[in-house]
Every structure is written in structure tokens, then in C-alpha cells.
Structure 1
């Protein structure tokens, strides 16, 4: 069994390691290339269906 001083020492060491890992990850995340801009208002063309499609077992009729 460890005494109080040794437990405190181990806790401090573990906390220091955790802080170092968190800082490392923060730096790595900040250094990443930013994701391309996404415009939520942009429109996208949806091509019309060329043939009849079936969804599950029900066939859709083109109007």
C-alpha cells in the first residue's frame, strides 16, 4: 500500500501527463487543414429519373 505522499505524487504525475496529451491534441487539431467551406444556402441540381425505379416492392409510375 502506498502512503499519502506517494499517492499525491502519482496523481500529480498522471495529471501532468493528461495535460500534455490534451495540449498535444489541441496543437495537432489547430494545425489541420481547415475543411472546405460549406454553403448551406447553395442549391444543388437533382437530375430527373431516367427510368422507373422501385422502392422496396412498390413500383413508382412516372407521371
Structure 2
């Protein structure tokens, strides 16, 4: 059985550890959000000059020649 003083001391120690972890995570998330991310779901536009060149089919399907 712990006395009141020891319980308060343990609670303060635990609260300090929680605060440190929260601050550490906050810093980590802020650093992560600062990095430019690549959106893999973003739509990419194909330049018209690439569309004008006839492309060969990949695999067994023949591409229609325009």
C-alpha cells in the first residue's frame, strides 16, 4: 500500500511521461506534414504531342493505327 505522497508522485511522473510522448508525436506529425507528398490517386494529363505519335500495343492486343 502506498501513501498519499507516493501516489501523487507517481501520478505526476506518469503525467510528465504522457506529456513528453504527446509532444514527441506532435513534433513527428508536424515534420511529416511538412514534407511534400505524392498523391498516387491524382490524375495526370498526357501532353497532346505524345497522343499524336502512334503507339505500339503492349502484349497480344493490336492497337488500331490512326
Q: TM-score, normalised by structure 1?
A: 0.54
Q: What is residue 30 of structure 1 aligned with on the other side? A: 30
Q: TM-score, normalised by structure 2?
A: 0.52
* Consecutive aligned runs of 4 or more in structure 1 exceeding 6 Å deviation: none
Size of the aligned set, in residue pairs, is 48
**Runs of 5+ unmatched residues, structure 1:** 43-63
Give the RMSD, CA atoms, in angstroms: 2.9
Structure 2 unaligned residues grouped into runs of 5+ = 44-66
Higher-helix-fraction structure: 2
Report how far residue 35 of structure 1 moved. 3.4
**Residues 9-52 of structure 1, C-alpha deviations (whole Å, 9 max, x = no match):** 0000000000000000000110112434x6xxx7xxxxxxxxxx
Mapped to 2, the partners of 1:19 and 1:2 lie a distance apart of 24
